Amino acid sequence: MQKTISTEEIPIKLWLRDMEEGALQQARNLANLPFAYHHVAIMPDAHFGYGMPIGGVLATDAVIIPNGVGVDIGCGMCAVKTSLQTIEEQQIKRVLKQLRATVPLGFKHHNKPQHHSLMPEAKGTLPVIEKEFKNATTQIGTLGGGNHFIEIQRGQDGLIWFMVHSGSRNLGYQVANHYNKRAISLNRQWKSSVPPSWQLAYLPMEGEDGLSYFREMNYCVDFARANRMVMCKRIEEAFLENITANINFEQPINIAHNYAAREKHFGRDVYIHRKGATRAAGGEKGIIPGSQGSSSYIVSGRGNPESFHSCSHGAGRKMGRKEARRELDLEQEKRRLDEKKILHSIRGRQDLDEAAGAYKDIETVIECQNDLVDVLDILQPLAVIKG
């Protein structure tokens, strides 16, 4: 932990050295919520978000905040280690070509519904999920856009890995949007003391709205996990069909970093909101990806209670998307990747929002949380597909 701010109703504990003013103000807002519990934890990749900073961890007493989870519910990482010791550039290119044909990217969905067996089992009343279910069957096994990616990597022992970053697609957006609007409406009726400008409308967990959101949010977490697993299956198939070798695949590490969960911390059952934060309980495996072209880390949680058993979910942005497209040098960003012989996705200025220069230095981010995780492996990128 780098420092503690003690000027608000509860402390703010920071695992980063410098924090942009907008994100810091959002952290202050969290610390002044009447139902916030014990302290607010800010991870080293933190930056400005909607209502709550991305990279924030908040404990609440008996309420849940849709914007404390965000619109891409269940977004997370999946990483698989293979037995493959060598992979040639032409083999990688064939794998990437097949993946572009079998995994829809960006806003694209499958042309027809996927088999219902791929979808998570529905439990309880799920009104938004029921409405969106048919559309969701065309979304499972799709990457999405923004910072979502598929990457082929090499571990410290020389073995090849692959990694997927994706979430709940439009399904999660619809759930988040529905319940955030409902929370805003109810907070207005109650004349809530939480200012609307904070974008932190909440739902009490003793009411049906809070319970309904919690059920549908958990379905989206399960859907996002299943979505990543379907893509991992497609990647395994692409490896097996394009590389002449016997390949074994280890058990996937599949984790979410946008969700809320009921957990016990500091002697009380609370709702932990992790928005761009990964759970890091003692001995729990996690993934902290770098930006395009930089290292990613496989970690083991240290179970630090001060972070509510959490760590960062990545490097974290240091530039907004429009700022990156405007300010970064296209040729320099391409050269940085070309010199490392990485097959990358930067073609034009429109791609600069996902260039390494738009993100914080991953090594510094890891260093700032050495009390939260132990590094198990460092993965170097070989090729990347961006959404």
Query: What is each CA distance from 187 to 25, 192, 319, in whole angstroms?
Result: 21, 5, 33
Q: 95-104 burial, b for 16+ CB within 10 Å, e for fewer? A: bbebbeeebb
Q: Are the beta carbons of 205 and 62 closer than 8 angstroms? A: yes
Please give the structure tokens belonging to residue 274. 């992790």
Name the active-site residue from 273, 309, 313, 344: 313
120 DSSP 8-state letter: P
- Tell me the three state secondary structure of residue 154: strand
Name residues whose C-beta falls within 8 Å of residue 205's C-beta, 6 or more positions apart in sequence.
62, 63, 64, 211, 214, 271
Provide the total of helices (H) and of strands (E) in the chain, helices listed first.
8, 17
Q: Is 109 a catalytic residue?
A: no
Q: Dihedral of CA 202/207/208/210: which sign?
A: positive
- E strand or H helix that includes residue 91: helix 89-102
> How would you class 197 by CB atoms within 10 Å of its CB: exposed for 0-12, middle for 13-18, buried for 19 or more?
exposed
Q: Using an 8 Å Cβ cutoff, are 75 and 257 in contact?
A: yes
297-334 b/e (C-beta count within 10 Å ≥ 16 → b): bbbbbbebebbbbbbbbbbbbbbeeeebbeebebeebb
State which H helix or E strand residue 64 sits in.
strand 63-64
Distance CA(28)–CA(40), nearest Å, equals: 9
The total number of residues written for the chain in this structure: 387
Residues marked as catalytic: 313
